[in-house]
Amino acid sequence: MSDPVVDPKVMDEIVSLCKRRGFIFPSSDIYGGLASAWDYGPLGSELKNRVQRFWWREMTQIHENIVGLDASIMMHPRVWEASGHVENFDDLLVEDTVTNERFRFDHLTQEQQESMTSPAGNPLSAPRKFNLMFKTNLGPVEDTASTIFLRPETAQGIYVNFKNVVQTTRVKVPFGIAQVGKAFRNEIVTKNFIFRTCEFEQMEMQYFVHPSEDEKWFDYWREQRMAYYEKLGIRMDRLRWQEHGPDELAHYAKAAYDIEYLFPFGWSELEGVHNRTDFDLSRHSEFSGKDLTYLDDEKKERFLPYIVETSAGLTRSVLMVLADAYEKEQVGENDVRTVLHFHPAVAPITIGVFPLVKKDGLADLAREIERDLREDFSTFYDQGGAIGRRYRRQDEIGTPFCITVDYDTKEDQTVTLRFRDSMEQVRVPVSEIATRIREEIKSYKRTSDS
């Protein structure tokens, strides 16, 4: 089956919509922005929080043997020696000798690499190694003893807390530790909006297993992670697996697969599932001098667990959710609407509430209904402009349900419930709105496709 057709121009439309409607702004905008840094606005921060919560619920609530952690960004510098990042976390940097534009060597085509020419056809400088970790100093004295790194992945915070978690909870191998947080990489090339940035967020889960069961759990987590994206309402023909070849494997991995998404700029990595063996725990044992083996009380067996890691970018997931949801849809013969088909569980606003007109007590009635719903849902009240335009404003920010209060509401206590995707409208008793919307969220399936 051939890939769905994507249009690179859509990226510009998404960036523009994000700025116009308050999802994502350039960082330090009033100073002209900072390359590759972005701020999440009122709708963007809601969207990001909800994507994070969706992942957190899936990983910790649905799986009873996964616990959470929130480790510090700044860690002991020895952590990064043990992890191999000081030695190995490099990219090869090359420069166009005419324009001085920089490239990651591995991002060039094979032909460009072999002929050592840039995409513009100019000679390239010799490749040189570039460590991606950001260095800073802890305390007022800037010397090597005070040098620390901003963590380039959240995973290490989990490994160094493995013993703490085993000792303070009742978890038994196999079990997982989940964490969401910021990570920093001094990327040579940042591009495609929030896809690759120097400051980003990860959602990682490390699953500790018996060494004899690593392949079983690796397969299990691959299956679980793909199923997760289906639950999130992502179009499955835009997701695929990409296996890392032997020369692509990270220094810690025995096997690795990426989940790739078909972004408007092409297939690109969204998440990695890695079999990290006992590399991390054995290195931290060695460098810290602490015994990180696990004792299986029942089998009276002591061993160093293997780790199966699922590592997704949160900020990259937000871009994926936006790209997957975005559609410019033909309505009738002469009309086009912009709509974001977010899964209702991650939409920044769940319900828009409107009075048909402001007068005759309809605004007060709509306000009262909105106030009641606000206890359980994220709502937005809007009484400005024609009702059709109010619907379109909510479509553009992905609000899945809108409720209109009209003259009949006063008579029979029903409202119009309008669905974003199908634009279908039904009458619902006011007393049943909350139950109906909860059911709609649970059974949501995207009905429209671009």
Q: Residues 224, 230, 232, 235: what is their CA dihedral angle, to the nearest 10 degrees?
A: 140
Which of 141-149, 174-182, 306-314, 326-334 is the region at the interface with ligand GAP (rule: CB under 6 A)?
306-314
Give the residue with the Cβ less far from ligand GAP, 311 or 399. Answer: 311
Q: Considering the complex, what minimum distance in angstroms separates the CB of residue 110 from ligand GAP?
A: 22
Q: Which of 118, 131, 310, 315 binds ligand GAP (CB under 6 A)?
A: 315
CA 178, 131, 38, 441 dihedral sign is: negative
Alpha carbon distance 233, 221 (integer Å): 19
Residue recorded with tokens 């009380």: 297
- Here the tokens at position 168 are 């303070």
Residue 341 makes contact with ligand GAP by CB under 6 A: no
Q: Any idea what DSSP says for residue 286? A: H
Element (H, E) at 348: none
Number of chain residues interacting with ligand GAP (CB under 6 A): 19
Q: Considering the complex, what minimum distance in angstroms separates the CB of residue 72 from ligand GAP?
A: 16
Q: Considering the complex, what minimum distance in angstroms separates the CB of residue 433 from ligand GAP?
A: 37
Binding residues for ligand GAP restricted to 183-202, rule: CB under 6 A: 185, 187, 196-197, 200, 202
Q: Which of 58, 91, 153, 280 binds ligand GAP (CB under 6 A)?
A: 153
Element (H, E) at 280: helix 279-288
The phi, psi pair for 139, rounded to 5°, reads: 90, 175
Residue 204 makes contact with ligand GAP by CB under 6 A: yes
Q: Which of 46, 91, 214, 271 binds ligand GAP (CB under 6 A)?
A: 271
Give the residue with the Cβ less far from ligand GAP, 274 or 343. Answer: 274
Pattern of binders to ligand GAP over 348-387, x per CB under 6 A? Answer: ----------------------------------------
Nearest CA to 234 out of 341, 350, 394, 351 is that of 341
Q: Considering the complex, what minimum distance in angstroms separates the CB of residue 180 from ligand GAP?
A: 12
Nearest CA to 234 out of 312, 350, 325 is that of 325
**DSSP-derived pairing of the beta strands 102-104 and 66-68:** unpaired
Alpha carbon distance 220, 315 (integer Å): 25
Q: Which of 151, 163, 225, 316 binds ligand GAP (CB under 6 A)?
A: 316
Burial of residue 45 (CB within 10 Å: 0-12, 13-18, 19+) is: middle
Give the residue with the Cβ less far from ligand GAP, 274 or 418. Answer: 274
Residue 284 makes contact with ligand GAP by CB under 6 A: no
Nearest CA to 345 out of 39, 45, 54 is that of 54
**Under a CB-based contact definition with an 8 Å cutoff, are residues 339 and 395 in contact?**
yes
Q: Which of 47, 177, 270, 373 binds ligand GAP (CB under 6 A)?
A: 270
Q: Considering the complex, what minimum distance in angstroms separates the CB of residue 317 from ligand GAP?
A: 7
Q: Which residues bind ligand GAP (CB under 6 A)?
A: 153, 155, 185, 187, 196-197, 200, 202, 204, 269-272, 309, 311-313, 315-316
